[in-house]
Amino acid sequence: MTAPQNWMRDTVLTGGRWEPRSTTTDVENPATGEIVGRAASATVADVNLAVAAAVAAGTDWGRTTGKQRSAALEELVAALRDRRDELVAATIAEVGAPITVAEEAHVDLAIEIIESFAVIARDTPLRERTGNSVLLRRPAGVVACITPWNYPLYQLAAKVGAALAAGCTTVLKPAELTPITTYLFCDAVLETSLPAGVVNLLPGSGTVLGPALTEHPDVAVVSFTGSTMVGRQVGRSAGELIKRACLELGGKSASVLLADADFEVAVPATVDAAMLNSGQTCSAWTRLLVPQERYDEAVTLASKRADALVVGDPNDRSTDLGPLVSHKQRLSVLAAVDGAIERGARVAAGGTDPIPGLDGHYVRATVLCDIKRGDPVTTEEIFGPVLVVEAYRDEDDAVALANATDYGLAGAVWSADAEAALEIAARLDTGQVDINGALFNPLAPFGGWKLSGLGRELGVIGFEEFTEWTSVQM
Ligand code: NAD
């Protein structure tokens, strides 16, 4: 594929104007190694410009009504819908996501989320009364939106949609590997009546721009999605400055199959969830927990499903798994699998062999079993297409095992009795639990316990992260 010219960018967006910069970074297609895009490498000086533009724009934008914010967000939805095909193509090109995943989980979901915030902006009162007080729900100020490479558009939508609905202004810092979708998002922003400076874009190095944004005195909220390691640094700096940091970090989520679950449904669904986006999904169910008497059956079903998944060209509609995002990510995933094998794990499907005919950063859909309890492969995030199968003795043991990780982002419970599943869900120390494959709900708060983060995204609760209260007694 020849990259469209408008994916070759050298600009930052500050105060509504694209400004050229002399240094750029290439964007690689992880399936082919081709250079498919280019982004400006913004500097600390650009952080000052962008934050100043966001502060200036905040004066008027922060005083808009919910209806006005809603109308602008609806315009953004329309502008994004108009370029849906290009957003999908860019997601395939920069992330390596298979087309069906790029359409549904990346682009359509992102647009749906912006739309949900248009509704929240319209319907959430900015003033409420309690007793002799008027409670003013006010915008928190300038929000730095720092996003990772695994779902670049979705992550952006969750942050920017909520921030704009709350009357905040924003500075976007996309991941180095995947800036194209964020450029296209900003193109859409510029087609709307959103005032100049409400959305600013600074592509470039996280280690340069991240601290400059986090530590900038005029940034009120840092909304960060990424690794727990970097999240700690963001949280530390924000804490020092007493500013809010919303941290959406890693996960190691369990899919718990109770003894009466329909394994023919639950096991393949768990494998599919673990492998979604080539396993580069923070909320992926990467652990399959089954009663010990049904362990062999679960391993057989899981490996059968993993073997049936098609790994290949992300532009092909029959592809289930594309490449991982980078060479580095591939090596890191292979090292995690090799380590588990050295410690005695058995490969039930997949493994670390290269896939003939595929030169990109591909890894096989892998299922590991016969792992010692507490082995790092069952507790640490791998962020690749790797599922581990673990046995539990009884339901108390299942809950203890599911909670035996430092993360707590997502999870699943499967049972013939949904109420019994709900009782187990209520004991899992995690931010989201799906029972029997229930659908993702973009209005439900999303975020983590423990090392999976602080705060929530999506829905009214996500919107609240970007507001401050002033209580006026009268
Ligand atoms: P990362 O932490 O390396 O980078 C995330 C973003 O932070 C990037 O834009 C990066 O440039 C920037 N950054 C780097 N150093 C920084 C610093 N010192 N200060 C501020 N920003 C800095 O993560 P990644 O490798 O891009 O993404 C993968 C990770 O993200 C995984 O661990 C995954 O679980 C996590 N993730 C979590 C969620 C969630 O909602 N909980 C969603 C997606 C991804």
- CA-atom Rg of the chain in angstroms: 22
Contacts of 115 (CB under 8 A, 6+ apart): 73, 74, 77
Catalytically active residues are 248, 282
Q: Among the atoms of ligand 1, which is closest to the Cα of residue 146?
A: 9
Residue with CA at minimum distance from ligand 1 atom 30: 226
Q: Among the atoms of ligand 1, which is closest to the Cα of residue 457?
A: 40
Residue with CA at minimum distance from ligand 1 atom 32: 227
Strand partners, 464: none
Q: Among the atoms of ligand 1, which is closest to the Cα of residue 233?
A: 18
CA of 222 to the centre of ligand 1 (A): 13
Q: Read off the pTM.
A: 0.97
Tell me what percent of the residues of the chain surpass a pLDDT of 70.
Answer: 99
If one residue of 47, 109, 146 were mutated to test the ligand 1 pocket, choosing by the most ligand atoms within 8 A of its CB, it would be 146
Residue with CA at minimum distance from ligand 1 atom 37: 249
Residue with CA at minimum distance from ligand 1 atom 11: 206
pLDDT band per the 50, 70, 90 thresholds, residue 91: very high
Whole-angstrom distance, CA of residue 182 vs CA of residue 87: 9
Quick one: which of 124, 158, 154 has its CA closest to 139? 124
Whole-angstrom distance, CA of residue 399 vs CA of residue 59: 49
> In sequence order, which ranges of 263-357 are alpha helices (DSSP H)?
263-275, 295-308, 327-342
Residue 22 in this model has a pLDDT that exceeds 90: yes
Residue corresponding to tokens 């089954």: 290
**Looking at residue 4, what is its pLDDT?**
76
**Looking at residue 338, what is its pLDDT?**
98
> 97-136 in b/e burial notation, b at 16+ Cβ within 10 A?
bbbebbbebbbbbbbbbbbbbbebbbebebeeeeeeeeee
CA of 260 to the centre of ligand 1 (A): 38
> In sequence order, which ranges of 343-444 are alpha helices (DSSP H)?
376-379, 395-402, 418-425
Q: Among the atoms of ligand 1, which is closest to the Cα of residue 151?
A: 43
Cβ burial, residue 71 (10 Å; 0-12/13-18/19+): middle
Whole-angstrom distance, CA of residue 361 vs CA of residue 347: 20
Residue 296 in this model has a pLDDT that exceeds 60: yes
Q: How far is CA 110 from CA 5, 87, 151, 256, 411, in A?
A: 24, 11, 9, 28, 22
> In sequence order, which ranges of 24-123 are alpha helices (DSSP H)?
44-61, 66-82, 84-95, 99-101, 109-123
Q: Among the atoms of ligand 1, which is closest to the Cα of residue 148?
A: 26
CA of 130 to the centre of ligand 1 (A): 40
pLDDT band per the 50, 70, 90 thresholds, residue 3: low
For residue 202, which amino acid is it? Answer: L
Residue 180 in this model has a pLDDT that exceeds 90: yes
If one residue of 27, 47, 214, 227 were mutated to test the ligand 1 pocket, choosing by the most ligand atoms within 8 A of its CB, it would be 227
**Looking at residue 2, what is its pLDDT?**
59
Contacts of 181 (CB under 8 A, 6+ apart): 87, 90, 91, 94, 106, 152, 153, 156, 174
pLDDT one-digit tens code per residue, 365-417:
999 999 999 999 999 999 999 999 999 999 999 999 999 999 999 999 999 99
pLDDT one-digit tens code per residue, 307-345:
999 999 999 999 999 999 999 999 999 999 999 999 999
**Looking at residue 175, what is its pLDDT?**
98
CA of 389 to the centre of ligand 1 (A): 27
CA of 250 to the centre of ligand 1 (A): 9
Give the pocket of ligand 1 (CB within 6 Å): 146-150, 173, 175-176, 206-207, 210-211, 214, 225-227, 230, 233-234, 248-251, 282, 381, 383, 409, 448, 452-453
CA of 135 to the centre of ligand 1 (A): 35
**Looking at residue 1, what is its pLDDT?**
55
If one residue of 150, 154, 237 were mutated to test the ligand 1 pocket, choosing by the most ligand atoms within 8 A of its CB, it would be 150
Quick one: which of 161, 249, 311, 187 has its CA closest to 455? 249
Q: Among the atoms of ligand 1, which is closest to the Cα of residue 204?
A: 11
If one residue of 106, 172, 202, 282 were mutated to test the ligand 1 pocket, choosing by the most ligand atoms within 8 A of its CB, it would be 282
Whole-angstrom distance, CA of residue 349 vs CA of residue 45: 50
Residue with CA at minimum distance from ligand 1 atom 42: 282
Question: The tokens of 233 are what?
Answer: 């640094």
Strands 17-20 and 11-14: antiparallel
Residue with CA at minimum distance from ligand 1 atom 20: 210
> For the chain, percent helix, then strand, then coil, each to nearest 5?
40, 20, 35
Helix or strand or coil: residue 68?
Answer: helix
Q: Among the atoms of ligand 1, which is closest to the Cα of residue 230?
A: 2
Tell me what percent of the residues of the chain surpass a pLDDT of 90.
Answer: 99
Residue with CA at minimum distance from ligand 1 atom 22: 206
Q: How far is CA 83 from CA 49, 88, 184, 185, in A?
A: 28, 9, 8, 9
CA of 208 to the centre of ligand 1 (A): 14
pLDDT one-digit tens code per residue, 243-268:
999 999 999 999 999 999 999 999 99
351: left (phi over 0), alpha (psi -120 to 50) or beta: left
Strand partners, 35: 28
Domains and CATH numbers, the chain: 5-249+452-473 (3.40.605.10), 253-441 (3.40.309.10)
Cβ burial, residue 396 (10 Å; 0-12/13-18/19+): exposed
Residue corresponding to tokens 């999303």: 446
Residue with CA at minimum distance from ligand 1 atom 8: 175
